[in-house]
Structure 1
Amino acid sequence: MTWWQTVPAFALTAAIVFLPGYLVLRCWAVTGLVAVGVAAPVSIGVLAAAAIVAPWVGVGFGPLVLVVPALVLAAAGLLVRKARPKVMGIEGRVRRSPRSRWTLLAHLGALVIPFSLITVNLVRMIGSPENISQTYDNVFHLNAIRYILDTGSGSTLTLGGMYSDGARVSTYPAAWHDLVALVAQLSGLSIPVAVNVVTVAIGALIWPVSAIFLVTRVTGTRPVPVLFAGALSSVFGAFPYLMAEFGILYPYYLSLAVLPVGIGLIAMITGVGERNGTPRWLAGLALIAVTPAIALSHPSTFLALLLFAVPIFVVSVVRYRRILAGRRGAGRYWLLICTLVVYLVIGVAVWIRVRPSVEASGWSTVQSIPQAIGEVLAGGLLGQGPSWVVLVLTVVAAALAIRRQFSQWVLGVYVIAAGLFIVVSALNYPGVRHFVTGVWYNDPNRLAALVPVIAVVVCAISANWLFLRTRDALTQRYPRLAELKFTREATPAAAGVAFVVALLMALVGQYSSVNYAVAQGRPDYQPNPASNAPLLAPDERALLERLDQHVPAGEKIIGYAWTGTAFAYALGGRRTLTPHLAEESVPPEVTELMNNLDMIDRDPQVCALVDRLDAHYVLDFPGRVLWENDTFYPGLATIAANPRAVEVDRQGAAVLYRLTGCGGEPSTPGR
């Protein structure tokens, strides 16, 4: 399959992600770049939240899970809009003249630049659209998508039950899995192709739109900062590329892509960000709709949002002190102070409780504090090499901050994000480090990816300042340049100049950190040679993809998960007893079976286990073991010599066996 053949599926993904949310927002009288910027997380939030409710009302997972609640919310907006237009901010709203054609083209260019560059880079990293990321977490993610399609439930409350085939209820954030499952269901694509299509859509479409939205909460919607925001969203190696390779952390990847929208809405609600005519209470409702997209993608990113909100609230309180000066406003001001204190107390309590254990957070530091600071400034995190565009713009931002010409809340959020990365990657005080960054498993990779979410705003503000100062200097020397208008409505020449500058910034920014990140991620998708595949060799995958020709539905397969057999569910539609690599999730009876399968002739309890677990098939992949994991199961290691194991299918060294002689053995293999 070629990438061109995935274009219809990509268009479908874009429609799923943007159209429902945009419809809801427009019906609630949200317009312009606010509606466009907030649309994707609203759609994702509605899908993930509705997927939790759907099983309770007897609705199976499918397009109705998204369409019906979106239409209900849109209808509610129309009703409120008709009944209370003044409350919606429609009455009295200043009607602006339609945007000029050149301004609209400039805004479109702001998306075309990052879409083109990020798409090309992700395609270079992934290779074929059918490739899979051969990494630890991908086994669970791909199997979880199959589980949603099979069970008809995409609920976060039950997705973790995939480990036990639903026997034990367990939660797992399902927003990303729901999105991919819906794309696979509607497009008919295989799970790997659907995953890669969604990966490109998140990185090349959702992320740039979110970044543009957040930047415009500071700079307004003039063409120049919009163009620069889009272009600069493509120059960071740490995001989106690092999260399209490391882990692989697909849910975290999605949560970071929509995080800028949450930050921007909080800025609008508190009055420190541009609102573009959107009432604060309406921005608050939008935030409620966006929150599930963040929290049900990855809860740690929701905690990051709570943390990033602190400097926004502080700046807001300081501003309100000036507005509410005097006796009449004193009460309201102190109420705001008390609210902030309560928020901080609750936030600290949540911060302490909602985190993995120390044992599960074993990542260690990777560099010194000066190195970490240098990487933040240069935009090339975790050894990716400096991004010179980011370095120059960050230095300019520092100078503006010293001169107090920089947005204070943006600076506060940036300092927090940078501080988290410095602590996790360089601070050698385990207690302090775990308190500060334990929410992210003390993992430097996760916090490296968090930095660009706000660094893109810092760089866009600096780029806009440099551009305007350069224009002013040139205008003084060449007065005819004054005809170039870089206001809300761009002239053709102005739009063209700004687009060229933005494109050059983006192209120069591709070097070093971006290219390094793409090269670093390529081997996980495109092992070379194929025999050195970290988890699943081509012969092994070919065998898995025809499992349904030999293994009856409902039968489970025994296999050593770390050799790639765990992909049987995602790729072949047949469950294994070990659908994930986490060995602590393997039930005791499964471990007993894998250890004693060689005793099947001598111990009747082994056959009893085989029958009870409906596991009469064994996959033997004698190739590489991921991370050279040394767990040893005697019963699996000797399967080729087991007299009860009959070879059913083979591809190279990969073999599927059927266990014979047990009472519950299926009478006829096949579908």
Structure 2
Amino acid sequence: MSWWQLAPAVLVTAAIVFLPGYLVARCWRVTGLVAVGVAAPVSVSLIAVVAVFANTVGLRWNVLLVIGATVILAVAGLVVRPLVPGPRRHPAKPLRSRWQLLVHVGALLIPALLITRGLTTMFGAPDHFSQTYDNVFHLNAIRYILDTGSASSLTLGGMYSNGANPSLYPGAWHDLVSLVVQVAGVSIPEAINAVNLVVGALVWPIGAIFLTTRVTGMRPVPVLFAGALSATFGAFPYLMMDFGVLYPYFMSLALLPAGLALVAMATGSGVRGGTPRWVTMLFLVLAVPSIALAHPSTLLLLLLLAIPILVVALVRYRRRVKAIGRAAEMRYWAGVVLILGYVAVGIVIWMRARPSADDWWPPIETIPQAIGKVLSAGFYGQGPTWIVLALTLVAVGLVMRRQVAWWLVGMYVIAAGLYVVVAAAPVGRVRDFITGVWYNDPFRLAGQFPVVTVVLSAVAATWLYTVTMDRLAARRPTFERLRSTPSAGPAAAATAFVAAVAIAVFGQYSSVNYEVAAGARTYELDDEADVLTPEELALLERLDDEIPEGDSIIGNPWTGTALAYAFSGRRMLTPHVGGTIPPDIQYVMDNLDDVGTDPEVCSIVRDLHAYWVLDFDGTQIHDRDIQFDGLDSLATNPGVTEIDSEGSEARLYEITGC
């Protein structure tokens, strides 16, 4: 399959990601960029919440459930909005509206094309998949949803036990991919790549633009620069497509800018435009589940980054108190109490919502090195993102001149501080308290940094562009029509578009191109692949014709056999390399070589309908050397018979001794 052949699946994905949320937003009297900005978070919330509800009431997971929930919310908006007064709107002049639309399309087109180019280069082909540890679970979890019809985040973690021991696992990303498989009729790897293209090349730039406009307003120059700069970071989205692989976390970070934008609008710290405050708060409530059910750690990041926004809102209100009266004074102190309560509850959640200490990572560099990488937005071997480094230095000057929103500065300091702590602080309780939520993992906190940096860089780029145009206009009147003013018109927009394209293209020749090349190695399907080689994959794709439906397969998951479930639909007794293997399955894997003399082996095989064994001789995931005694001598075991093979490394056996 070519990338052009995947285009219908990408369009289906975009429709699922944007249309439900956009329809709901418009029915609740949300328009313009705000409606576009909240579309993806609301859609993903609908998908993830409906998945939980459907499982609770026994409904099988499918796209009709999402459509039904969308219609209910949309109709509710149509019923309620005439009853609630909203601000009067003066219709925009047709010419200005047309140019504003073109600016927004251009601002999205720049990163959409560049990020699509980068991600398709990284993926290699539409049916390639990440050959990494975490992806074994992700692929099989999607198959589990398709097989069982259960997509609830409350039970998805029970895949290992085939639903016998349901447990929590954030499933919003998996739910979305499963819908694309159902609606578009593509394979699981193809659906994954379609979803990641839409999230990376559309959801992320739209969120970056949306959040930037809460600082700068709807002026065309910052809109264009925010879009362009969203394509210049190797740390996001590309690093998240390489390391891990962290697909759910990747989607949660792409949704985070919209959540922050809604917080800024709801509190009055950011530009709200014509959107009523109560509508903003409603859509904040609708958007939060998308982040929480994609990856809970990003919800905690949202709560943390919201603190500067809340503080600025309270300070602004304090300045107005004396002019408003005693009632306002009481509301101010009530706000102080609410923020203190917010922080206290947040600390409790922060302490409880963290993984076990066994999974935490050590620091990787010195504090000066970490600060340098923060300033340059180039992490690990990526090298500096030069355009971001230059704009960050400009932003430092603007901060010193108090020309940057303080809540944006606060978010940047928090995001930067998190990375410096996780990358360079010594191991101990302080580091564990601050970054243990993310397993003390520098990669994850490098991925969150562009969410804030893109806004600060766009503000700096806007100032630099405006000053340059003003000086050119002062020296030569012919440049007057190119200045960034409300009346500047198409000429100024065209000039800013050219500058934005230059920024975006120049930004590719740094951390982006490095990370695309580095990430591409994890998607290569060849004889040196870490999880599956072409021979092993070819054998897996034949299993549904060779193994009866309902039977299970035994195999060492660390050799890649675990993915038999994803590619054939035939269940593996060990569908993931993580977790604890159940005792009965462990017994069979350790004692299958005694199948003719140990009656317990055959008893378990019959109970589990596990008459099949996969044997892969290639490298193990993470170059591990994990062996099971009962699977070491399959070729000479008289109780098993070879049924199929591919090349010299992939074989399928049937247990005939039972």
TM-score, normalization by structure 2: 0.98
Q: CA deviation at 1:324?
A: 1.3
Q: Secondary structure at the match of 2:368?
A: helix
Q: 2:618 aligns with which of 598, 623, 626?
A: 623
Distance 1:573 1:304 in 2: 37
Which residue is 1:574 aligned to? 570
* Residue aligning to 1:333: 332
Are the counterparts in 2 of residues 103 and 490 from structure 1 also a CA contact under 8 Å?
no
Distance apart, 1:466 and its partner CA: 0.5
The amino acid that maps onto 1:422 is V
Alignment match of 2:520 (pick from 519, 522, 525): 522
Q: Find the counterpart in structure 1 of residue 28 from structure 2.
A: 28
Aligned residue number for residue 175 of structure 2: 178
The correspondence for 1:589, drawn from 564, 584, 588, is 584
CA distance in 2, matches of 1:599, 1:166: 30
Query: Matched residue of 1:558: which SS?
Result: strand
* 1:403 positional shift: 1.2
1:490: how far off?
5.7
Question: For 1:608, what is the secondary structure of its paired residue?
Answer: helix
Q: Distance in 1 between matches of 2:76 and 2:570?
A: 43
Aligned to 2:317: 320
Distance across 1 between alignment mates of 2:397 and 2:72:
49
* C-alpha distance in 2 between matches for 1:640 and 1:284: 64
In the alignment, which residue of structure 1 is the partner of 2:260?
263
1:37 matched to which residue of 2?
Answer: 37
Q: Hey, what does 2:464 align to over in structure 1?
A: 466
Query: Is the contact made by 1:440 and 1:447 (CA closer than 8 Å) also made in structure 2?
Result: yes
Superposed CA offset, 1:134-187 (max 9, x none):
000000001000111111111111111111001111111110000000001101
1-structure distance, mates of 2:487, 2:109 = 19
1:532 aligned partner: 528
Q: For residues 181-580 of structure 1, what are the structure 2 equivalents within 5 Å?
A: 181-325=178-322, 327-361=326-360, 363-484=361-482, 486-488=484-486, 491-526=489-524, 530-580=526-576
The answer (yes or no) to whether the contact 2:466–2:483 under 8 Å persists in 1 is no
Distance 1:241 1:205 in 2: 14
The one-letter code matched in structure 2 to 1:543 is L
Give me the whole-angstrom Cα distance separating, in 1, the residues matched to 2:43 and 2:253.
16
Go from structure 1 to structure 2 and tell me whether the alpha carbon gap of 1:487 and 1:45 turns closer, same or farther (over 3 Å shift): farther
Secondary structure of 2:508's match?
coil
Distance in 2 between residues matched to 1:230 and 1:489, nearest whole Å: 22
Which amino acid in the other structure matches residue 321 of structure 2? L
Partners of 2:427 and 2:638 in 1: CA distance = 56
Aligned partners of 2:185 and 2:92: how far apart in 1? 44
Correspondence 1:53 to 2:53: yes
One-letter identity of the residue aligned with 2:385: S
2:64 & 2:548 partners in 1: Cα distance?
A: 31
Q: Which amino acid aligns with 1:134?
A: Q
Q: Which runs of 5+ in 2 are unaligned?
A: none
2:68: which partner in 1?
A: 68
Give the Cα separation in 2 of the matches to 1:188 and 1:149.
12
Q: Please point out which of 635, 641, 646 is paired with 1:646.
A: 641
Deviations 1:364-393 (A, max 9, x none): 111100000000101101231001100010
SS at match of 1:189: coil
Counterpart selection for 1:610 from 601, 605, 611: 605
Change (3 A) 1:539 1:402: same
SS of 2:192's equivalent in the other structure is helix
Name the SS of the counterpart of 1:411 in structure 2. helix
Q: CA deviation at 1:327?
A: 3.5
Q: Which amino acid aligns with 1:319?
A: R
SS in 1 for 2:627: coil
* CA positional deviation for 1:430: 1.8
CA contact (8 A) 1:54 1:60 kept: yes
CA distance in 1, matches of 2:557, 2:164: 20
Whether 1:148 and 2:148 are equivalent positions in the alignment is no
Distance 1:635 1:59 in 2: 41
1:205-227: CA deviations, max 9, x gaps?
A: 11001111000111111111110
- 1:669 maps to none
Cα RMSD of the aligned pairs, angstroms, is 1.1
Other-structure match for 1:79? 79
| Residue 122 (structure 2) pairs with residue 125 (structure 1) | yes
Residue 486 (structure 1) shift: 2.9
Aligned to 2:14: 14
Q: CA deviation at 1:638?
A: 0.9
Identity in percent: 56
Partners of 1:598 and 1:314 in 2: how far apart? 66
Local SS of the residue matching 2:550 = coil
Unaligned 5+ segments in structure 1 are 663-671
TM-superposed deviation, 1:58: 3.3
8 Å CA contact 1:34–1:276 kept in 2: the answer is no
Tell me, in whole angstroms, the C-alpha distance in 2 between the residues paired with 1:659 and 1:328. 80
Contact 2:469 2:483 in 1 (8 A): no
**Cα 1:376/1:636, change in 2 over 3 Å:** same
Contact 2:362 2:427 in 1 (8 A): no
8 A contact 1:382–1:448 mirrored in 2: no
Task: Kindly indicate whether the alpha-carbon contact (under 8 Å) linking 2:145 and 2:151 is maintained by their aligned counterparts in 1.
Answer: yes
User: CA contact under 8 A between 2:593 and 2:633: conserved in structure 1?
Assistant: yes
Alpha-carbon separation, structure 2, partners of 1:194 and 1:275: 36
Aligned mates of 1:332, 1:240 — CA distance in 2: 41
Give distance in 1, aligned partners of 2:99 and 2:280: 28
User: Does the 8 A contact of 1:223 with 1:488 survive in 2?
Assistant: no
In structure 1, C-alpha distance between the alignment counterparts of 2:492 and 2:315, rounded to whole Å: 37
Name whichever of 391-400 and 632-641 sits farther off: 632-641
CA shift for structure 1 position 59: 2.3
| Matched positions, count | 654
Q: CA deviation at 1:485?
A: 5.2
Describe the superposition over 1:554-573 as per-residue Cα deviations: whole angstroms up to 9, x where unpaired: 11100000111000011111
Question: Secondary structure in 1 aligned to 2:645?
Answer: strand
CA distance, structure 2, for counterparts of residue 387 and residue 427 of structure 1: 24
Deviation at 1:484?
2.8
Give the stretch that moved more between structures: 74-83 or 622-631: 622-631
AA paired with 2:334?
L
- SS of 1:80's partner is helix
**What TM-score results when the alignment is normalised by the length of structure 1?**
0.96
How far apart, in 2, do the equivalents of 1:408 and 1:54 lie? 43
Q: Give the equivalent residue in structure 2 for 1:166.
A: 163
Whole-Å separation in 2 of the counterparts to 1:479 and 1:323: 42
Residue 638 of structure 1 aligns to which amino acid in structure 2?
S
1:610, 1:518 → 2: CA distance?
45
Letter of the aligned partner of 1:565 in structure 2?
T
Residue 103 of structure 1 contacts residue 489 of structure 1 at CA under 8 Å; is this kept in 2?
A: no
Give the aligned partner of residue 637 of structure 1.
632
Contact 2:588 2:630 (8 Å CA) reproduced: yes
Which one-letter code corresponds to 1:501 in the other structure? A
